[in-house]
Amino acid sequence: MVSVEVRRSSISGSVTCPPSKSYTHRAIAIASLAIGESTVTNPLLARDTIATIDACKILGSDLKQNANVIKINGKNEFPAGDREINAENSGTTIRVATAMSALVQSGRTTLTGDESLRKRPMQPLLDALKQLGVDCGSLANGTPPVVVKGGGIKGGYAKIIGDVSSQFISALLISCIYAEKDVEIEVDSEQVSKPYIDATLATMQRFGVRIENNYYTNYHVRTQRYRPASFDVPNDFSSAAMMLAAGAIAGEITVKGLNFELPQADAKIVDILHDMGVSVKLDRSRGAVSVSAPEKLEGDTFNLNNTPDLLPVVSVLALKAKGNVTIKGVAHTRIKETDRITNIAREFKKLGAEIEEFEDGLSIKVSEKLKNARLNAYNDHRLFMAFCIASLLTDKCIVDGLESVDVSYPNFIDDFRKLGADIRKV
């Protein structure tokens, strides 16, 4: 495990964050199902998205990469044969590719991943696919590895829970347009992470497909075809949220190159920073957000049900708040790459924060100067970045898990250092 040392420092300047992981996944998967040549520009080339690229190649689409352009010749059904897909650490990859695997003409597709991914739930998606006529199952009690037999999606009606992951719905929507008959999807329970479904629908629309959506409770998926298209991946608000948090606690920063047209869940960070008393300047026409740190942030209560990836970011902001910061609605973050609620609570206690942990969130209060500590990111890319930013408020911290950042933000350390962070490998 590779570690970094971060010392108290102020940051300033501007940064352009990497392309969106969410949109890169979706554009590549959907282009791989569009007959004809599509072009995806400005893709994120990181561990998770490379897993999706590899999965689509293994299924049978033709993908060719040249610099920051990927040309894709897709198929609405894939050649017969057995195959194995390793989704590495990517929940989006394994869930979207599981549904796509039903479109193999015949043969078994086995999908697996790393140790963390093999603990993440798949049964709700598998049950929905079974209702739609797909022969599939888990080899490990509802988690990966999973096996999908080809032969197509029959269609009809499926009921699925919405309170575990929005990725199940996205996976069904992306592939079910090629079912033999129309598909009705009913969501049983409150849907989490709704903006990620919005991102799926927006990407599908760019490739010529529209889905009837009744307030995230019911979807009518007509049989139709994707048209090849050109898709420019927007820069990532999830990564931008990390850097904006750094500016909000330790200086001032401008994040450039952001796109406010396509829905991104973590654009919500702009409202959260404003609510916590941060000076925020928003320039939609230039795609820029600027923040500067006040002496103290305001405590508040935030429901992050639709923006679970902001849990680490808001937790970091809480370390500079003059009152309690309570985060609710994020029970589903317990089954992300790690149990993020428990792990944030455990590590921030080392810093001297007062933490109350409950099933769907945290309450964080800081009464005294933060302590120096060694923080374990549990091989979770978002925790690693968040812990590095939190360390700016201490005299010195060691953060373990540098190797995890290539999942979503391979240049994080370089960008962080350019802004003035005193960070080095140890």
Residue 188's H or E segment, with its range, is strand 183-188
Among residues 266, 309, 380, 400, which one is catalytic? 309
Q: How far apart are CA 23 and CA 277, in angstroms?
A: 31
Strands 108-112 and 83-86: parallel
Sheet holding 252-256, edge to edge: 14-16, 252-256, 288-292, 279-283
Rg (CA), the chain: 21
Strand order in the sheet with 218-221: 156-161, 183-188, 218-221, 212-213
Using CA atoms, how far apart are residues 363 and 277, in angstroms rounded to an integer?
Answer: 19
Active site residue 309: yes
How far is the C-alpha of 150 from the C-alpha of 139, rounded, in Å? 17
In the numeric block, the tokens 């709704």 are attached to 194
Name residue, tokens 């060694």.
374
Q: Residues in the chain, how many? A: 426
Residues forming the active site: 309
